[in-house]
Amino acid sequence: MSTVKVWFVTGASKGFGRIWTEAALKRGDRVVAAVRNPTSLGELVDTYGESLLVMPLDVTDRDAVFDAVKHAHMHFKRLDVVLCNAGYGYMGAIEELAQEQVRANFDTNVFGTLSVIQAALPILRAQGSGHILTVSSIGGVIGFPTGGSYTASKFVVEAMSEALAGEVAAFGIKVTIIEPGQFATGFQSAVQTPSPIAAYDPIRQAVRSSFKPEDVGDPAATAQAILKVVDADRPPLRLALGSSTIMKIRATYAARLGNWDKWEPVSIAAQGNQHG
């Protein structure tokens, strides 16, 4: 590592957010940790002192997000890494989903991410540098049955981030989408679910059975991957985390290409002939 980086991390109190926050601090970086419950990071404050600024934040409060990012910039005088990690799962079959719960899920996963990005961009553009990391999921690439609004929200994060990357590259700002697979972060224990419809139980069970224990990764091992990405001169637009994640994504893209190839004559015919 060369220079000390200043991070702004949402959802920093547990799971990946906590692990990546601690990894940044451990190597000498400075971190603004935005969390719902500031006391959850008391141990890190005791250990890292002035290198860590803990701020209470609910990313669904847009005004609070802008205030937090502004305060973070004033405190450390710059922002180098903006890590949009706050999010949670609301999973069920599409017919089962409660609309208000879907809205709440999108408020955090999508609009919370959007608010953080929009708050940070003027600062990063003025600096002529910065790296925005948005946390998606294998569920942002593969819309598995009973993935509910969680996978839908992560597809949105992927599209938004891809568009963002093309918009801000000329300003010296980098964008990377993080796509974790299954990791032992405790994420599943916090997943919300709607009232089940019995007709979907066999599908639900089949999906659960498709996730193998050997596919579950060690979340601590992801820290070095994240540090490598933020230190890279030319970081990737997408970084999948986990060996089984790569395998599943590759198989999914192969199936999509096969689908488009099979129906290519129909697709070409749909172009019509404007010149004939």
DSSP annotation of 108:
I
Strand-strand pairing, 130-135 and 173-180 = parallel
State yes or no: is 70 an active-site residue. no
Residue 159 corresponds to which amino acid? A
- pTM for the complete prediction? 0.95
Q: Which of 5, 13, 153, 154 is catalytic?
A: 154
Which of 11, 148, 153 lies closest to 90 in space, CA to CA?
148
Which of 31, 44, 38, 40 lies closest to 57 in space, CA to CA?
38
Q: Which of 136, 137, 153, 161 is catalytic?
A: 136
Residue 52 corresponds to which amino acid? L
pLDDT for res 2: 54
- Tell me phi and psi for residue 52, to 5 degrees: -120, 125
What strands lie across the sheet with 6-10, from one edge to the other?
A: 52-56, 30-35, 6-10, 81-84, 130-135, 173-180, 238-241
State yes or no: is 253 an active-site residue. no
State yes or no: is 154 an active-site residue. yes
Domain limits of the chain? 6-243
Q: Which of 5, 90, 115, 150 is catalytic?
A: 150
117 near 42, Cβ under 8 Å? no
Q: Consecutive 10-residue runs of the chain (276 residues): their mean pLDDT?
A: 87 95 98 95 95 97 98 97 97 98 98 98 98 97 96 98 98 98 86 97 94 90 98 98 94 98 97 81
Which of 188, 186, 166 lies closest to 177 in space, CA to CA?
166
For 108, other C-beta atoms within 10 Å of its C-beta total 19
Quickly list H helices, 129-173.
148-168
What is the C-alpha to C-alpha distance for residues 99 and 106, in angstroms, rounded to an integer? 11
85 near 20, Cβ under 8 Å? yes
Secondary structure E strands in the chain: 6-10, 30-35, 52-56, 81-84, 130-135, 173-180, 238-241
Which of 148, 96, 112 lies closest to 35 in space, CA to CA?
112
Fold that domain 6-243 belongs to in CATH: Rossmann fold (3.40.50)
Residue 69, CA distances (Å) to 8, 36, 63 in order: 8, 15, 10
What is the C-alpha to C-alpha distance for residues 121 and 116, in angstroms, rounded to an integer? 9
